[in-house]
Amino acid sequence: MLGLSKKSDYALLALSYLATNGESRTVRTREIAERFAIPAELLAKVMQRLAKMGWLASSPGPSGGYTLAVSDTSITVGDVVRAVDGGSALTQCMHSPEGSDCEQWANCTIRGPLGFVNERVQDVLNHIPIRDIRERATPASAESELVSIVVPDHSAPAAVRAGASRSHNEGDTP
Partner DNA sequence: CTAATGCCGACCAATGAGGTCGGAGACCTG
Partner DNA sequence: CAGGTCTCCGACCTCATTGGTCGGCATTAG
Residues 41-60 that bind DNA (CB under 7 A): 41-42, 44-45, 47-48, 51-52, 58-60
**15 Cβ contact partners less than 8 Å away, ≥ 6 residues apart:** 50, 55, 68, 72, 75, 80, 130, 133
| Cβ at position 52, least distance to its own copies in Å | 12
Q: 80 near 130, Cβ under 8 Å?
A: yes
Q: Is 137 in the site for its own copies (CB under 8 A)?
A: yes
CA distance 68 to 134: 14
Query: Per-residue string for binding with its own copies, 41-70, x by CB under 8 A?
Result: -----------------------------x
Binding site partner of 105, from its own copies, DNA, ligand FES, none, Cβ cut-off 5-8 A by kind: ligand FES
Whether 27 and 66 have beta carbons less than 8 Å apart is answered as yes
The closest of 58, 80, 82, 60 to 69, measured between CA atoms, is: 58
Strand partners, 56: 68
State the residues that interact with ligand FES by CB under 6 A: 9, 91-93, 99, 102, 104-105, 108, 110-111
State the residues that interact with DNA by CB under 7 A: 1, 5-7, 28-30, 38-39, 41-42, 44-45, 47-48, 51-52, 58-66, 85-86
